Amino acid sequence: MKIAITGSTGLVGEAAVVYFQRNGVQVTRLIRPTTKMANYQDVITWDYQKKVIDLKRLEGFDVVIHLAGANIADQRWTPEYKEIIRRSRVDSTQFLCDALAKLRHPPKVFLCASAVGYYGDGSAEVEFNEHTPRGKGFLGEVCHQWEQAAAALESSPKTRVVYMRLGAILSSKGGALVKMMPIFKLGLGGNIGNGQQMFSWIALDEIPRIMDYLIQNPLAKGVVNLTAPQAVTNAEFTKVLGRVLHRPVILPLPAFAAKIMFGEMGEALLLGGAKVAPQKLIGLGYTFQYPDIETALKNLIV
C-alpha cells in the first residue's frame, strides 16, 4: 500500500508516518517548500497558496491523508490569525482535492482531518454524534468550510472520502497535556472555570490505528468522530490527572482569567466543549485501545 500524507511534520502526522512505516507501508510526505527535508527520503513538495503541486507524482497512491493546518492553540485569535487558521484548512483542502480529482488514478481512500469544534458547545446531558447539526462559533464555521472544501473529490466515484472529526489529542509529545504537566506536577493544577465544560478527547496513539481501520473498512465513509467513547468534564479530567500524578488539584483557573489570558481562543478551547460520541466507529466494530481517560493517562504518564 502507498500512502501520501500532508501535515506529516505535525503531532498527528508524525505519529501516522511512524505507524504506517512500521507496518510495511510506503509513506510519502507532502510538504511545503520551506520545510527542512534533510531527514525525509520520500517527499512531494506542494504549495496551496501558490497553487503548485506535481500532479504526475500524485498518481497511483492508494490513500491520501490530509492533516495540514495551522495550530489553533498556537496564539491568541486575532482577526489575522483566524484567517490563517481558516485558509490553512479550507484553501489547502480545496486545492489538494481539486488536484486529486484530476488524476487518472486518484486515491482509493481520502482521509481528511476535521475537528469536534464543528459541534460547538454542549452540556453533559446532551450527546453529539456524526448526525448532529453544526454548532455556532468560529470553529464550527471553519470545520464546516473545511469539509465542504473536499467537494471535488467526494463527487468522484473512484475515491471514498472520510472526514475525521478529531477530539482533543492527548500526547506526551506535544499539545495541551505537555503544557499542563509541569503545573500539575507542582501541585498547582485545578479546574478551569466551573469545570463542567465537556472534554471529548482521543489518545494520540489511537489515531493511526483508527486511520488504518478506516482505510481497511469499505463501509467507512463520510463523517467519523475520532473521540474516545467516554467524554469527561474538565473537573473529571483534572481529578484523574491529579490522581495519576499523585498530586492535589486545588487551584482553579477562573473563567475570567482564562478569557483575559487567552482571549477568544481560551474561551473556545478551555471554557467550551461538547460531549461527542464516536457512534460510527462503534457501529463499524472498532475496539478502542484507550477507552477511558484513566487508561489513557496512565499509558502517557510513566
In a domain, 65, yes or no: yes
CB 224 within 8 Å of CB 269: no
- Cell of residue 291, nine digits: 477507552
pLDDT along the chain (302 residues), means of 10: 95 97 96 74 91 94 97 90 96 97 96 97 94 95 97 92 97 88 89 94 97 98 98 96 92 82 80 94 98 96 80
In a domain, 183, yes or no: no
In a domain, 130, yes or no: yes
Q: Catalogue the long-range contacts made by 248-254 (C-beta closer than 8 Å, 24 or more residues apart).
A: 248/187, 249/184, 249/189, 249/190, 249/191, 250/187, 250/190, 251/188, 251/189, 251/190, 252/190, 252/191, 252/192, 252/193, 252/195, 253/190, 253/191, 253/192, 253/193, 254/193
In a domain, 157, yes or no: yes
Three-class SS of residue 108?
coil
Backbone angles phi, psi at 267, to 5 degrees: -65, -40
In a domain, 243, yes or no: no
Longest dimension (CA), the chain: 60
In a domain, 182, yes or no: no
State the sign of the Cα–Cα–Cα–Cα dihedral 118, 124, 128, 132.
negative
pLDDT at 37: 63
Domain count, the chain: 1
Question: Which helix (H) or strand (E) covers residue 162, if one does?
Answer: strand 160-166
pLDDT at 251: 86
- Cell of residue 192, nine digits: 478551569
In a domain, 54, yes or no: yes
- Cell of residue 219, nine digits: 463501509
State the sign of the Cα–Cα–Cα–Cα dihedral 67, 72, 73, 74.
positive
**CATH number (domain holding residue 26):** 3.40.50.720
> 206 lies in which domain range?
2-167+201-227
Residue 183 burial (CB < 10 Å; 0-12/13-18/19+)?
middle
In a domain, 235, yes or no: no
- pTM here? 0.94
